[in-house]
Amino acid sequence: MPNPGNFHGSRLEFLLGEKPAYELAAAAGQGAEAISNIQRQYFKRYPIELPLNVEPTAEFLANVDDDAADVDIQEPDVDKLIPEEYREAVERMEARRAIVNFRKDQIQRWFKYQKAKTAHKNNDTKSKEGLPNPYEILTQKLIGQEHT
């Protein structure tokens, strides 16, 4: 059974909607910038505090403003908290940061996979130098087809 992926519902719809813009940016050598912008927009729509199995309301999604400044998460202030509260606040912040980085990596991998899948679907069998792909030649020999 194939892997169903990490993104479902409106999350998947959002990523699919951003796919053409990413493909154009990647073709122009701006893929990293496009991914960064998509990640920023994703987190505005789907905050880390919202579990993956919970959909945001249509009203919440309609009110997302991509041009609004991102909310800065304040570091805990060691002078305002007792040591135990400070330690707990730092642990929560580190856990949140780890989840954000993990989700960013998931988004980046999703787009790279989609790009590779599109290239495969388009039967992109030529290497960057215009030479035949050696794997394509091997596959054709193994299945008994003649290389063209």
List, in order, residues 6 or more apart from 2 with CB less than 8 Å away: none
pLDDT at 123: 60
Half-sphere exposure at residue 32, Cβ-oriented, CA atoms within 13 angstroms: 1
pLDDT at 111: 93
Query: Do 146 and 140 form a contact (C-beta atoms < 8 A)?
Result: yes
pLDDT at 72: 80
pLDDT at 3: 66
pLDDT at 25: 92
pLDDT at 124: 52
pLDDT at 146: 66
What residue ranges of the chain have pLDDT lower than 70?
A: 1-4, 120-132, 146-148
Q: What percent of the chain has pLDDT over 70?
A: 86
- Domains in the chain: boundaries: 9-143
